[in-house]
Structure 1
Amino acid sequence: MNCADKLFVSSSAANPVIGEKFAKQLLRSKRQDRPVKAGHPDEPMREHLLRMQALDQRAQETNMEYWLNPHCPPRCDRNYGHPV
């Protein structure tokens, strides 16, 4: 055996090549061990929905601030005095 053969044998023993099916199963089992929470890479849709909910809430609050403001256009007429 020359040096290259020894290197190949020792490196293949250290890093055995596993099959695709086993690798996917291993990844699945690793993912299930982690806590499930928003923002986790395994849950992009949940993270997206929570972000959309936060944006919707902020839009509703901004809209209410606008409509409850006594100086907004529907509440005051510029041709009739000054807004309070």
Structure 2
Amino acid sequence: MEDKTFELLTKMYSEMQSGLKEVRNEMQNGFKEVRQDIVRLESKMDENHKALYDGYIQNSEAITEIREDIRELKSRVENQEIELRVIRGGK
């Protein structure tokens, strides 16, 4: 009776070890896939960050150009106002 019990326990232990190995392998494969997904996401985020930064720079440059144009137009308007005063006789 003890021999049968021992054999049964040995068989159960062997099957459990085999099952645990399968579970470990599946978990390791899952972790590898998750790591690969994380690397892909980091790469995409890096690309998007660069694109956003480039867009920010372009917007900043455009705003600077517009400000310069406004300053120039303001100066022209002021000069024309002065010329009109001179033409009208200082009024």
TM-score where L is the length of structure 2: 0.39
More helix by share: 2
Higher relative contact order (CA 8 A, sep 6+): 1
